[in-house]
Amino acid sequence: MRLVVRVDRHVLQRLTDPICHLLRNAVAHGIEPAGRRWELNKPAAGSVRLAFEKLPDALRATVEDDGAGLDVEAIRQAAGAGGDPERSSVDQPADEDISELVFRPGLTTQEQTS
């Protein structure tokens, strides 16, 4: 069932850049190349879903893709948080905390940026 959610124009304008960033990341980082998707018995074309949910005091935007999910080790390495014997295990983020690292400005697991 689809509901129409009305959003103030100023709120929507403030959401434009973050939503575009999430959509770009879903395509660039989330969806595997067509050949890899075929190997995984997935359709060659990936899908991205954007949904909004009206909460009592907020608007929730959700971006989902049908990719492989977060590459925990690649994120840990890109953040400089992996494989360093000088760092104690207390300094090393747990796998479940790795997802927070993707919000660091400039962090990328890609060799080339788009």
Residue 26, pLDDT > 50, answer yes
State how beta strands 59-65 and 48-54 pair. antiparallel
94 and 39 in a single domain? The answer is no
Residues 63/50, Cβ–Cβ less than 8 Å? yes
24 and 47 in a single domain? The answer is yes
6 and 59 in a single domain? The answer is yes
Beta-carbon contacts of 101 under 8 Å, excluding residues fewer than 6 positions away, are 75, 76, 78, 79, 81, 93, 107
Domain that holds residue 44: 1-67
61 and 11 in a single domain? The answer is yes
84 and 39 in a single domain? The answer is no
Q: Give the chain's domain count.
A: 2
77 and 92 in a single domain? The answer is yes
Residue 13 corresponds to which amino acid? Answer: Q
Mean pLDDT of 3-11: 80
Residue 6, pLDDT > 90, answer no
Q: Would you mind telling me the total number of residues written for the chain in this entry? A: 114
Q: What is the pLDDT of residues 47-102, one digit of tens each?
A: 999 998 888 988 888 999 999 888 888 888 888 865 444 444 446 667 777 878 87
d(CA 87, CA 96): 19
* pLDDT at site 91: 60
18 and 38 in a single domain? The answer is yes
9 and 63 in a single domain? The answer is yes
39 and 78 in a single domain? The answer is no
Residue where a domain terminates, one of 67, 82, 104 = 67
Degrees, nearest 5: CA angle 98-35-79: 20
24 and 54 in a single domain? The answer is yes
